Amino acid sequence: MEKKKTLILGATTNPARYAYLAAHRLVAAGHGIVNIGIKKGESAGVEIQRADAVFPDIDTVTLYIGPQRQPEYYDYILATRPRRIIFNPGTENPELEALAEQQGIEVVQACTLVLLSTGQY
């Protein structure tokens, strides 16, 4: 299996949140992660950072913030130049999807947790 470095946008320290579960399952599957969120802490042993530094080696951005909060991150997401963006349930955003596709970024509407559990990640 190819390892895919993943940026988790909406990372959290709350174990009841899907972003937290995704961080742990990605790490357990051997994928490197970058946690981007608004609160300090760590998830899956990786510090949660602000969206300041751009990480150029990101394969996948997986979104855990709603479409109403995404516009402030458009430039950041696109600057990472990921191969794909996963829009998890509730994060679908036609505007960001169109911007990504214009830059040749694959857009996937799916659940990261399901993709991991079915071997489709």
**7-61 pLDDT tens trace:** 999 999 999 999 999 999 999 999 999 999 999 999 999 999 999 999 989 999 9
Average per-residue pLDDT for the chain: 97
Q: Is residue 34 part of a domain?
A: yes
Q: Are 80 and 96 in contact (CB under 8 A)?
A: no
| pTM score above 0.85 | yes
DSSP lists the bridge partners of residue 109 as 87
Is position 59 within any domain? yes
Q: Grade residue 90 by pLDDT with cuts at 50, 70 and 90.
A: very high
Burial class of 103 by CB neighbour count within 10 A (0 to 12, 13 to 18, 19+) = exposed
Domain count, the chain: 1
CATH code at position 111: 3.40.50.720
Q: What angle do CA 55, 42, 10 make, to 5 degrees?
A: 60
Range of the domain at 68: 6-117
- Could you tell me how many residues make up the chain? 121
In this structure, is residue 37 part of a structural domain? yes
In a domain, 104, yes or no: yes
Per the CB < 8 A criterion, the answer to whether 79 and 25 are in contact is: no
